[in-house]
Structure formats: structure tokens, C-alpha cells
Structure 1
Amino acid sequence: MIKKILIANRGEIACRVIKTAKKLNIKTISIHSDSDVNAEHVNLADESYYLGVSEASKSYLSIPKIIEICKKTKVDAVHPGYGFLSENANFVKELSKNKIIFIGPSEKAITSMGDKIKSKTIAEKANVNVVPGFIGEIKDIKHAKNISKTIGFPVIIKASAGGGGKGMRIVNNEAEVEEAFLRASSEAKSSFGDDRLFVEKYLVEPRHIEIQIIADNFGNVFSLGERECSIQRRNQKVVEEAPSSFLDDNLRNEMSKQAIMLAKEVDYTSAGTVEFIVDK
């Protein structure tokens, strides 16, 4: 039974987890860096521990520091929130070594789906629709230019790791490739500790629709319906609406079917989201 958890995140994400944990009578441990020493999540938690300097790679992305705090506080589990280490398979592995529960999917599922390059390969194998593009790591700027011209502009350069709209740049022509590549790579490195990039076709004004799924440890996967997430600012969702007014029953059922197929392909457990880009 889980009696104490550490939230490996900050801000509103951590606050939501802490508030829910308190309703369940679970003690909470928060962590903080120099930049958020006075943040709300620090005050809400039962205990809070200092991670280090503001730079994420030296604080919220530091697995050794977080594991050390976990051991010191004798937590039963870690809730990663989203972003940071939430899709880091090595983090799950290290927690498991120390007999600490990771509140989220398995190491295998994260290894398979946390890496967008690998996940696109898996999706194609499972007969799930994917956005056209180059499935593989972009080696350098010259490679990025060649691939982009082959795909046809506009394209989008994306980080293979992480999420939350970070490490993404839209490219409308060859002249924009170099700056987009450098900026996306730098942002991915600082946000996720992984600067690998890939390129795919950029769909102009698509619908961003997510299928929420939940899966147990016995192979059962269920679709909980969709969320319309198309209203965004700087690749960050502003409003989510359910159900989506854009989908008819046939498309809704097909998307749910493909989401379940993908989850089963990687033996996914826990709650999760399969994101679809729907062309108008």
C-alpha cells in the first residue's frame, strides 16, 4: 500500500498531484530548485527538499539527486507528473532497483513509446496511421535539409524525446532549416537531456485530437473517449473539449480502435493518451 509519495515535478502539475494525494491520506514530498523555492507546491507538500540550481538538467532531470531524496525520505512511490522524467525509462529502472514504485507505465512501454522515432516504427507495425515523414534520427543540418526537401515543405522538426511542445520548429523553406534544427536541438537537450531530432510533414491547421486510454496489468485496454485539443498557443493546449464536434461516430470508433491497438502492441499499463493529428 502506498503511504508516501514524492512528486518529481513542480508548479501546477505538482500541486494537482499533492491535492489528490491528500484526499487519499497519502503523505507528499515535493522537490524544488533555486528558481521555485517559494512556489506553491513547496508549501503544499508535507515535506520539501532542495534539488539544486535552476537549470533543469542539474535539478529536475537529475536522477541521482531525486533517488537520493527518495531513499532519505523512505517514500513508497514517485509520481512524475508530465514532462521532465515522466518518459524516462532509466528513471523507472533506477526506482525499481531501489524498490520504489513508479506511478505510471512500465519501463518497457516508456522505452517503446517515450521515444517518438521508435514509437512511429511500432505504430506502423501495429497498422496505426502516422504522419508522413522520415522515421529515423536526423544526423546534422545537411541531413535535415535533404530529408526536408524529400518530404516537401512545410515540415516540422521535432525532438524524439519528451513532449509538451518543446523541441519543435516549423520549417517553411530550406533557408529556415539550419536555425530550426539548432534551436530545436538545444531546447530538447535542456528540457529532456536528449537532443535527437526527426522530421515529418507539417499539416497546416490540423485538428489535434487525443484518445484517453486506460490499461490494467492483465491485457485489458479501454478507450475513455476523445478530447479536442486543437486550440493551442505555442504548441501548448489552451482549451480541451470533449467530445470533439469534428468527429463522426465512424472516425471516433476507428481512432479509439487504433489507440487500443497501439497500447496492446507495447503491453501498456496505467492511464495514457494517444495523440492524433487529423487532417481537414
Structure 2
Amino acid sequence: MKKVVLGLSLASGLSLSALANTGGPAWDKAPNRITDQTALQNGAKTFATYCLNCHGAEYMRYNRLQDIGFTLDQIKNELVLTDAKVGDTMKAPFSAKEGKAWFGNNPPDLSVIARSRAGANGTGADYLYTYMRSFYRDPVSQTGWNNIVFPNVGMPHVFWELQGDRKAIYEEVEAHGQKTHVFKGFEQVTPGTMSAEQYDQMVGDLVNYLQWMGEPVQNTRRTMGIWVLIFLAGLTVVTWRLNKSYWKDIK
């Protein structure tokens, strides 16, 4: 049940990003490890352990994870944590009707979440990377948590045991006769099981996995695109030489 509550965290925060896309704090740049199989595998394990307790990724099949280096046995033993088969899609553990009845809103599907969150502040990966590192303890909120990127978010902090307890520090600033509170940073209240560097690494790997999952063929597509451009460049040179040779005696 604990993981169900934690996994539910993405339900509100990822289904609503209007505030994050229009103003608000700047997004941090997400690390780009989309071609790093180790990073993608670590992200997939985090995704299976935490996110799939409440969310689905119904455009992704478990056996597609072979593309990032997992064997079928590894997928079955380490990533399929339900009674699903390795050829099944990554479905949520409950129906949409049950999700709505239990939580008010059915937790959204995460198959293309990284592709759908791009905004003026950066890419979808930047948003997710900043969002999952911006939670702080808020006893006034319904869940006991809040988020700098998404104020009054309706989800708890999925990884609070890993990151530890933090509180947000605000400074009162007066401008044009009005007082406002400006965010100044976080204060660590209790440590987590990970250091700040380890936590950022874990979140970065998860975000890279979410980015890969939104388009599993993107690495192949990019590699193929480079070779196609090289071929077209060579073909252009050959065509130009043939054309010159053909017309050289014609005046």
C-alpha cells in the first residue's frame, strides 16, 4: 500500500503542467544519457519499482526492454513485479474506474510523458528532472508535500525516503508596494538514504528512461539519419561529376 501511495504521486503533478509551462522557476537541464544503456537500465528499474505501482505505460511492452540490454530472464525476474507476461504492455495494477474511485483522478499513462511536457522553459526531460527534485515538506497540503515547480501539486513525494525531508526557504520581498515571498532554496531537515549527488543521478537515469520510452527507436533513427546524410552527400558528388562529364563536349 505504501508504494501505491508513493507511485500515485505522478497522478496530479504530471497530468497538469500549465503553471510549469508559463512562468515559475527555471527548469534545470536534464542530463543527456539517452544512449547510455547502464543509465537507461537503472531508470527502467526505478520506473518498474516505483511508478508502475499506480501508473501504466500501455504503449510499451516489457520485452521491448531488450533494446536497452535486458535479457528476457532479467525482465521477468527483475522488472515484471505483477502477474504480467514479458510480452504484455505495462498496464497499471488497477482499472481506470478503480483509479478514479480511489484517488479522484485516474493516474495518467506515462508512455509519452517526457514528450508531452516540453514548454518555454525547456524540454519535457528538463521539466521532469526539475519537478522530481523540487519537492518539500508542507504540513498544510493534503498529502503533506508541495513542489516548487508545481505549487499545490496533488501528489506526495515518491522518493522522499531516498532524498530525505526538506523544507523550502522563502524570503519576503517588497516590490511596488506589495510584499511577495521569493523562493531562496531548500533546507535539509533529515537526510535520505541517498546523497544529493546519488539522488540527482537516480532521477536523471529515470528521466532518460522516460525520454527513451516515449520513442524507443530514437537512437536507431538518429544513427540511420547520419548514414543517410552521408550517403546523400556522396551521391551528390557522384551525380555532379557525372553531370559535368556528360555535358563537357556539348556546347
Using the size of structure 2 for normalisation, the TM-score is 0.27
Higher RCO, Cα 8 Å, sep 6+: 2
Whose strand fraction is larger, Structure 1's or Structure 2's? 1
